[in-house]
Amino acid sequence: MKTGIVRFALATYLVMLMLPVYWMVNMSLRDNADILSTFVLFPENLTFDNYIKIFTDPSWYSGYINSMIYVTMNMVISVSVALPAAYAFSRYRFIGDKHVFFWLLTNRMAPPAVFALPFFQLYQTMGLIDTHIAVALAHTLFNVPLAVWVLEGFMSAIPREIDETAYLDGYSFPRFFFRIFMPLIKTGIGVTAFFTFMFSWVELLMARTLTTTEAKPIAAVMTRTVSATGLDWGLLAAAGVLTIVPGALVIYFVRNYMAKGFALGRV
């Protein structure tokens, strides 16, 4: 009875969550004239033209490829530098630890608009404008602090006795870290990987500032094409639907890390 109500409430929430996304899918399968003239719950004049255009026009699909490249780079860099740092924060005291920990997060707190200009100058000096690595590096500004914070939380939940036992058993630090510790915080790594992917994928301002053509992200391609063609709702909706797909795949792959949870609980 009680679980029935809970299930029903959860299902209702999930349906409401999907409504705007459904509406986007609905629009993506219709042409612009049809969208603007009639209101229908299910597309009647189904067309895949919007998707065909995106998959055949290089200026469209290269946007997806560019975004995927720098987002993956960013995810790998962020998680790999954050893992050891989070371990240090969760296990040891050291000079300035608390200050550095909070300072990291302050890098997410600046309003990006005015920072775009010096960012451009910085990466121009490095000769990195319009490269994937530039966007990947720039996005570490907000993703590395987040990764450190999330991972630190998960690591602190693991009792320190585990580390000590491993060292007593003669494990070296790297061997302990990769063989014992990382499997224990799989959930945290999964969540962190997803978050870094997500924040880099949806960020537009920096990515647009640092690129012109060769590494232009899909979100920027969408705004440009929209203003140039005077809002083609169907095409825009189809592009929007396609922006969800890569991330949905990522969460599908990390879901087991998130779902399996904490190995210690079963010991």
Partner 1 sequence: MDKPTNNGAWLLVVPVVLLVAFNAVMPLMAVVNYSVQDIFGPGQAYWVGTEWYREVLGDTRLHEALLRQFLFSGLVLLIEIPLGVLIALAMPRRGWAVSLVLVILALPLLIPWNVIGTIWIIFTRPDIGLLGYSLNSLGIPFDHTASPLDAWITLMLMEVWHWTPLVVLLAYAGLKAIPEAFYQAAAIDGASAWKVFRYIQLPKMRGVLTIAVLLRFMDSFLIYAEPFVLTGGGPGNATTFPSIYLVKVALGQFDLGPAGAFSVIYFLIVLLFSWLFYQVLQNVGRGKAR
Under 8 Å between Cβ of 193 and 79: yes
Nearest to 155 by CA among 121, 130, 180, 138: 180
* Stretch of residues binding partner 1 (CB under 8 A), selected from 45-53, 54-62, 237-245: 237-245
- Of 37 and 213, CB closest to partner 1: 37
CA-to-CA separations, 101 to 60, 92, 109, 150, 170, in angstroms, rounded: 40, 12, 14, 12, 31
* Stretch of residues binding partner 1 (CB under 8 A), selected from 43-51, 53-61, 183-191: 183-191
Q: Which of 129, 135, 166, 191 binds partner 1 (CB under 8 A)?
A: 191
- Of 118 and 230, CB closest to partner 1: 118
Q: Residues 6 or more apart from 123 whose CB is under 8 A from it?
A: 129, 134, 137, 138, 210
Only one residue has tokens 């790999």, namely 80
- Of 21 and 52, CB closest to partner 1: 21
**CB of 52: closest distance to partner 1 in angstroms?**
20
Q: Is 235 in the site for partner 1 (CB under 8 A)?
A: no
- Round to whole Å and give the CA distance between 20 and 35: 15
Q: Is 60 in the site for partner 1 (CB under 8 A)?
A: no
User: Each residue of 73-92: b (16+ CB within 10 Å) or e?
Assistant: bbbebbbeebbebbbbbbee
- Of 52 and 244, CB closest to partner 1: 244
- Round to whole Å and give the CA distance between 180 and 163: 9
Q: Is 76 in the site for partner 1 (CB under 8 A)?
A: no
Site for partner 1 in 143-172 (CB under 8 A): 144-146, 148-150, 152-154, 156-157, 160
* Stretch of residues binding partner 1 (CB under 8 A), selected from 42-50, 51-59, 80-88: 80-88
* Stretch of residues binding partner 1 (CB under 8 A), selected from 42-50, 54-62, 93-101: 93-101
Nearest to 248 by CA among 25, 3, 5: 25
Q: Is 228 in the site for partner 1 (CB under 8 A)?
A: no
Site for partner 1 in 26-55 (CB under 8 A): 27, 35-36, 39, 41
Site for partner 1 in 117-146 (CB under 8 A): 117-119, 121-122, 137-138, 140-141, 144-146
Instruction: Read off the tokens for 179.
Output: 């063989």
Q: Is 255 in the site for partner 1 (CB under 8 A)?
A: yes
Under 8 Å between Cβ of 29 and 233: no
Q: Which of 210, 215, 233, 238 binds partner 1 (CB under 8 A)?
A: 233
